[in-house]
Chain A
Amino acid sequence: MHIAVCIKQVPDAKNVRIDPDTHTLVRQGVESIVNPFDLFAVEAALKIKDALGARITVLTMGPPQADEALRETLSRGVDDAVLLSDRAFAGSDTWATSTTLASAIRKLGDVDLILCGKQAIDGDTAQVGPETATLLDLPYATFVKKIEILDDGHLKVTRQTDEGMEVWKLPMPALITVIKEVGEPRLPSLRHKMRAKKAEIPVWGVNDLGLDPSAVGLSGSYTQVVRVFSPPRRGDRILLQGNIDEQVDQLYRYLKEAKVPGI
């Protein structure tokens, strides 16, 4: 079985804080990490590999430094990595990103299962997985917490929904987006770290993927950002004064006035 895992390099939230006065984002430095949901996808792939045997190829689209994100997954036991990098990819929206990923998966050829995190923590769209599956004409299941591979070669997945859970059966090849409950990512091992360090990671651009440069990146995107701004500041923040009883009385009164449900 060949599993492809799509990952994204994102700014590390730990280096980000909210300025309490301006309530805007402060990024110290530009440290990057693998999107945490994508590490869950890597872990889900490794679990299948442990149980049934599989070859895992991890893919990312990004600038040349996204190579580090791929090596991070190699150090956890992924077999191969491919970097999709080209100036032509800059400014991609979810459609253009999906177009690029779908072409790369077609080029890999023999993929049985594609795993993605449910969303990236910078954009939060949760669209790239489903759109990539659609472009490849594959069935998909989102927000999956448990993946089983049945003897008949079908997938049985448990999805988390707003209302509870759903158990779906779908044929492979398919695409699955995962949430935290699939399992905490294992740590890198020394052996895999050595291999990750030395690995030759191929870089595929528009020509390698046979894509028209105008079909990707900003020129291949359908949506355009016209304005980026800081969210309006929250209203005045009130620190309740006095002893415990006084704080209790004040909070009760404020919540009552605000007609908060339940109070």
Chain B
Amino acid sequence: MKALVDRRKCTLCAVCVEVCPFAAITVGETAIDISDECTLCGMCVDTCEFGALSLPGVGAGPAADLAAYKGIWVFAEWREGTVHRVSHELLSAGRILADKLGVPLAAVLLGHNLKDDASSEFIAFGADTVYVVDRPELAHFADDTYANVLVELIRQKKPEVLLAGATSIGRSFIPRVAASLQTGLTADCTELDVSDDGLLLQTRPAFGGNVMATIICPNKRPQMATVRPKVMKPVRQPDHKGEIIPVSISEACFKSRIEVLEVIPEKDQTAKLTEADAIVSGGRGLQKPENFALVEELAQLIKAAVGASRGAVEEGWIAPSHQVGQTGRTVSPSLYMAVGIAGAIQHLVGMQSSKTIVAVNKDPMAPIFDVATYGVVADLFEFIPAFVRKIKQERGD
């Protein structure tokens, strides 16, 4: 199978020839030709301004009773006693979808020794129903028990959409839920909408945010997506009314092959990159390990986490857990400050979705400036101490 060409619409403009990452498109006599190299990646489809290119459809499969599935569900994330804020973000996003579709919105809360105030908060963020499963086996996260319980609940109550946070928990066990239910799953969405025919439109970045793709799951239910934290806006509606329903689940679901031996919270708050609202990162421009103190001082002052480029990690100046970029962490804080980082693509793909990006580098040609909201061409050894003094002075320290 390969991309389809509408030969009547093709004008032989050859824009797609350049775009194809697999060099599968050539200019033919009356229309472009697509070779067997085509991997159906879809890059060409959106570039064609004449609408001449399309992808064949996914298999219809046995027609599942799609109409039997109704309502939007949000997996509410509870971690060792606290609710993760992505739960509120997703409920607010789910509320908008539910209203568009005219269906109810539910939150699903799994854990142990759960208190009703968490569930009441879910209602305040838009849930009509909160399904609660409170069991000692759910006290610690484990992929199999969490997946078993969610799968059984979905089989019982048949929601048409399930959303979960693209956190270390959601990204780990939601694929097990999707595969067990034999349905589609889209990872790391940053935009959600519904189509005219009621399908969930799931938009996500790929290739480190350089390409966006909108994905649907036409023939299977529920339509499942994980959604990046800090993208959807939590909206509290204190007057919203809802119902809390404890659910009992068959015993077999709680049998686990995984034994959680230890949960070790990160003591170094500056290493909690994915959770941080602000990150100050250092690169090779710092020249030697002691100079990381400059980055750390600024980070401490503005309560930011400390990141690093691959170069700084490879030099051994800082632990790999601080690395931002392709083989490290992908982050999107409100503020990302890159200090002495040139901005190789491997770094950019890990941070370019940050809201505000500040780059400090003495080389005006450094690629980091291409993505920086505010670029500072300066010697970091002069600029950073001066900036630290400025913040302290404004605070009256």
Interface positions of A (Cβ within 8 A of B):
11, 13-14, 16-18, 20, 23-25, 27, 30, 36-37, 40, 63, 87, 90-91, 93-95, 98, 121-127, 129-131, 133-135, 139-143, 156, 159-171, 180-181, 214, 217-231, 234-235, 237-240, 244-245, 247-252, 254-255, 258, 260-263
Which residue of A165, A171, A237 is within 8 Å of B373 (Cβ)? A237
New A-B pairs, 17, CB < 8 Å, besides A124-B330, A163-B272:
A13-B345, A16-B210, A18-B371, A87-B36, A91-B56, A121-B207, A124-B207, A139-B257, A163-B266, A166-B140, A223-B184, A228-B42, A228-B43, A231-B205, A235-B373, A237-B369, A248-B386
Shortest CB-to-CB span from A136 to chain B, Å, is: 10
Within 8 Å CB of B41, what residues of A? 228
Flag if A262 contacts B258 (CB, 8 Å).
Answer: no
Flag if B172 contacts A165 (CB, 8 Å).
Answer: no
Within 8 Å CB of B293, what residues of A? none
Going nearest first, the 5 A-B pairs with the smallest beta carbon separation are A262-B302, A222-B184, A91-B40, A130-B175, A219-B59
Which residue of B175, B262, B321 is within 8 Å of A181 (Cβ)? B321
A-facing residues in B295-352 (Cβ within 8 Å)? 301-304, 320-321, 323, 326-328, 330, 334-335, 345-346, 348-349
Flag if B378 contacts A244 (CB, 8 Å).
Answer: yes
- Chain A's closest residue to B80 (CB) is A163
Instruction: For the complex, give the distance between the alpha carbons of A18 and B210 in Å.
Output: 8
- Chain B's closest residue to A220 (CB) is B59
Instruction: For the complex, give the distance between the alpha carbons of A260 and B209 in Å.
Output: 22
A sample of 26 inter-chain contacts (CB < 8 A) reads A14-B345, A16-B210, A37-B327, A87-B36, A94-B185, A124-B207, A134-B175, A139-B144, A160-B321, A161-B168, A162-B167, A162-B275, A163-B168, A166-B260, A167-B264, A218-B55, A222-B182, A222-B217, A224-B215, A225-B215, A227-B46, A237-B369, A237-B373, A248-B386, A255-B374, A263-B391
Within 8 Å CB of A98, what residues of B? 179
Instruction: For the complex, give the distance between the alpha carbons of A36 and B74 in Å.
Output: 33
- Chain A's closest residue to B384 (CB) is A248
Q: A164-B266, A244-B382 are in contact. Are A130 and B172 (CB under 8 A)?
A: yes
- Chain B's closest residue to A170 (CB) is B258
Instruction: For the complex, give the distance between the alpha carbons of A90 and B55 in Å.
Output: 12
**What 0/1 readout, one digit per residue, does chain B (17-56) give for beta carbons within 8 Å of chain A?**
0000111000000000000111111110110000000011
Within 8 Å CB of B275, what residues of A? 162-163
Which residue of B214, B370, B379 is within 8 Å of A225 (Cβ)? B214
Flag if B327 contacts A166 (CB, 8 Å).
Answer: no
Within 8 Å CB of B373, what residues of A? 234-235, 237-238
Which residue of A161, A170, A235 is within 8 Å of B259 (Cβ)? A170
- Chain A's closest residue to B395 (CB) is A263
Within 8 Å CB of A93, what residues of B? 58, 184
- Chain A's closest residue to B219 (CB) is A222
Flag if B335 contacts A13 (CB, 8 Å).
Answer: no
- Report if B63 contacts A (CB, 8 A): no
Which residue of A25, A165, A223, A254 is within 8 Å of B216 (Cβ)? A223
Instruction: For the complex, give the distance between the alpha carbons of A220 and B62 in Å.
Output: 11
**What 0/1 readout, one digit per residue, does chain B (132-151) give for beta carbons within 8 Å of chain A?**
00000000111110010000
Instruction: For the complex, give the distance between the alpha carbons of A167 and B377 in Å.
Output: 44
Flag if B374 contacts A125 (CB, 8 Å).
Answer: no
Instruction: For the complex, give the distance between the alpha carbons of A29 and B297 in Å.
Output: 43
Flag if A231 contacts B46 (CB, 8 Å).
Answer: no
Which residue of A91, A131, A133, A228 is within 8 Å of B39 (Cβ)? A91
- Chain A's closest residue to B183 (CB) is A222
Flag if B323 contacts A262 (CB, 8 Å).
Answer: no
Within 8 Å CB of A18, what residues of B? 210, 345, 348, 367, 370-371
Instruction: For the complex, give the distance between the alpha carbons of A156 and B260 in Å.
Output: 10
Q: A162-B274, A251-B374 are in contact. Are A218 and B327 (CB under 8 A)?
A: no
Instruction: For the complex, give the distance between the alpha carbons of A134 and B3 in Å.
Output: 31
Flag if A124 contacts B188 (CB, 8 Å).
Answer: yes
Shortest CB-to-CB span from B345 to chain A, Å, is: 5
Flag if A252 contacts B212 (CB, 8 Å).
Answer: no
Shortest CB-to-CB span from A187 to chain B, Å, is: 15
Within 8 Å CB of B220, what residues of A? 222
Which residue of B172, B265, B323 is within 8 Å of A164 (Cβ)? B265
Shortest CB-to-CB span from A257 to chain B, Å, is: 10
Flag if B390 contacts A223 (CB, 8 Å).
Answer: no
Within 8 Å CB of A156, what residues of B? 261
Shortest CB-to-CB span from B305 to chain A, Å, is: 11
Within 8 Å CB of A30, what residues of B? 21-23
Shortest CB-to-CB span from B213 to chain A, Å, is: 5
Shortest CB-to-CB span from B147 to chain A, Å, is: 8
Shortest CB-to-CB span from A146 to chain B, Å, is: 12
- Report if B169 contacts A (CB, 8 A): yes
Instruction: For the complex, give the distance between the alpha carbons of A234 and B186 in Å.
Output: 24
Flag if A127 contacts B172 (CB, 8 Å).
Answer: no
Flag if B211 contacts A230 (CB, 8 Å).
Answer: yes
Q: A90-B39, A228-B212, A238-B374 are in contact. Are A223 and B58 (CB under 8 A)?
A: yes
Flag if B216 contacts A13 (CB, 8 Å).
Answer: no
**What 0/1 readout, one digit per residue, does chain B (356-397) give for beta carbons within 8 Å of chain A?**
101000000001011111111111001100110011001000
Within 8 Å CB of B212, what residues of A? 228-231
Within 8 Å CB of A121, what residues of B? 207-208, 326, 349
Shortest CB-to-CB span from B177 to chain A, Å, is: 9
- Report if B263 contacts A (CB, 8 A): yes
- Chain A's closest residue to B301 (CB) is A262
Shortest CB-to-CB span from B159 to chain A, Å, is: 16
